[in-house]
Every structure is written in C-alpha cells, then in structure tokens.
Structure 1
Amino acid sequence: MSQLNVIVERVFEANIKLVWKALTEKELMKQWYIDVKEFKTVAGFKFEFWAGEEGSKQWNHLCVITEVIPEKKLTYSWKYDGYGGMSHVNFDLSEENKGTKLKLTHSGIDTFPTDIPELAIHNFEKGWNELIHVSLKEFLEK
C-alpha cells in the first residue's frame, strides 16, 4: 500500500456542476489543467497528455479512467511512458455551504523511480497546489 499521497482540499465559490465540468470537459480542462485530444468520463477510457516544467523535460502521461460518479467522484490511473510505477488521481466533490468542496488525492507516487528528481513527492505537492489553489480557483471564480 502506498504511503506517499498528495492531498489538496479547497472550497470554491462555484456550484458543483461547474466544478465537475472543469474536471471533465476537455475545452475547460485546457484552460486551467491539461490539453487532451479527447476525454470521456467512462471507466476504461484512456487518455494521455504531455507536461513538465517549462524549459525542461516533458513527460508523456498515460492515464485510464477507473471510476466515475457524476458530479461526485473522478478517478484515473497515472503513469509515465517509458518509466515504472503507477499512481492514481482522485477528485472527490461535495457541496459545502453555497460552494463546492474539492478533495484531490494523488496516491502511489512512491511507486515511481526514486532516482529521478522530477518524480519526487515535493514536485507533485507543488504542482497540485498550484493547479488547485491558483489555476482552478482563478478559472472557477473569474
């Protein structure tokens, strides 16, 4: 069982329908998160995207949707093309006051190769905190 998890929680001043769309509609995802050719909220759907620090190595992320509960939960596997290890990204949504609480959990990070500095947990913490607390917040609350 994985011991290294990144957990990021935030309550947004946005309804749950909008937050769900931001997580699942490719044109909206592109505005705050990732650019994918296609994205479907269907278990077994495979998608990939390239990402990495600007000016450094770019990583091909290979993902498979594993669980979908509309407007409540989205989970997908996450690995890197050509490297060992498998992790999972989980978005849990719930209504809170007049907004939406999002809890992101990225588990299995310790399955990635430990000799690659870019795959250290602090990079995942930094990336997810930036995405949720800055990019997604700005997108949803503009």
Structure 2
Amino acid sequence: MSIPIIVQCKVKAPVEKVWKALTDQHEMKSWYFDIADFELEKGKTFNFYEPGEEKKYHHQGEILEIIPDKKLKHTWSYPELSAGITAVTWELNQQGEETNITLIHDDIDQLKELGDNFSREAFAEGWNGILKQSLKPYLES
C-alpha cells in the first residue's frame, strides 16, 4: 500500500457551487478537462486526454462513490500505457462561507513503471496546480 498524495485547498464558495464544478461536464471544461462522456452515476466510465490536439495520455476513470456535496471517488488509469489503476477522491467540507477541498490520490505506485511524468512528484505538482491555480480562481471569480 503506497502513501497517498493529499492536496488541500480552501475556497470562498458554497459547497454546492464546488460540487457542481466537480460534477458538471460543462463546468469542468472551464477549469479541468473536457470530459464529454462524464455522467455522475456510480459505475459509469469516462475518458479524456491532456489538453491539446495531439490526444496525449488517454485517461480513463470509473465512478466508485458519490455522496452529493461531500464526496466523489473514481478510478484514474491510462489503459493504453499500463494495467495500473489508481483512485482519486474529492472530499468537500463547508465551513461558514468557505469550502475545504481535499483531493486524495491513492495507489500512485501502480503507475511508477511509466516514468517521471507519472511519478509521485509529478502528480503532486499537477494536482496542486489544478486545485490552487485552476479550480480555486474559477470558483472565486
């Protein structure tokens, strides 16, 4: 069992607004990825690529758990590159006018054979950027 990557971020937005940003495919396009086949339903699979025309790194996820306004958990894998499957959990906790977002990426060692672009450090840097430089400004604008 590997040590999870945990990234936390506090935003000045109600939990309902944060939940919508995490689960509405149209909002995701503005701060995250373009995930055209995302459906908020347990067991549903979704697919997306890194931004850009070259369709780099096919990502695939399956929704494992949904607790509205509190928790979204899904798998995170690269089916063309590795048999490794990791899990990403988004936890939300409203405190007054702010919402604490905790992202937990488990089993990251499942992807270590893919090299430096898939290292613990690379994922930690990526998630920090997504939460703090993309999602937070999106929600607070």
* Structures share fold, TM-score greater than 0.5: yes
Superposed displacement of residue 38, structure 1? 2.4
Corresponding residue of 1:90: 89
Corresponding residue of 2:23: 24
Q: Structure 1: which 4+ aligned runs deviate by more than 3 Å? A: 54-57
- Say which is worse superposed, 37-46 or 122-131, in terms of deviation: 37-46
Superposed displacement of residue 97, structure 1? 2.5
Corresponding residue of 2:76: 78
Aligned CA RMSD, in angstroms, stands at 1.8
Corresponding residue of 2:63: 65
- Distance in 1, Cα, partners of 2:70 & 2:114: 36
- Distance in 2, Cα, partners of 1:17 & 1:110: 33
Q: Indicate yes or no: 2:133 matched with 1:130.
A: no
C-alpha deviations, 1:83-110, integer Å up to 9, x for none? 1211000000011121111100011110
Count, aligned residues: 140
The 3-state SS of whatever aligns with 2:39 is coil
- Distance in 1, Cα, partners of 2:112 & 2:131: 25
Corresponding residue of 2:45: 46
- Say which is worse superposed, 57-66 or 16-25, in terms of deviation: 57-66
Q: Indicate yes or no: 2:117 matched with 1:118.
A: yes
Output the TM-score relative to the length of structure 1: 0.92
Corresponding residue of 2:108: 109
Instruction: Assess if the C-alpha contact under 8 Å between 2:11 and 2:99 holds in 1.
Output: yes
Output the TM-score relative to the length of structure 2: 0.92
In 2 relative to 1, CA 25–121 (structure 1 residues): closer, same or farther, beyond 3 Å? Answer: same
Instruction: Assess if the C-alpha contact under 8 Å between 1:59 and 1:81 holds in 2.
Output: no
- Distance in 1, Cα, partners of 2:76 & 2:105: 9
C-alpha deviations, 1:69-127, integer Å up to 9, x for none? 00100000011022121100000001112111110001111011435221111110110
Partner amino acid for 2:42? A
Superposed displacement of residue 48, structure 1? 0.5
- Say which is worse superposed, 78-87 or 122-131, in terms of deviation: 78-87
Q: Unpaired segments of 5 or more residues in structure 1?
A: none
Q: Unpaired segments of 5 or more residues in structure 2?
A: none
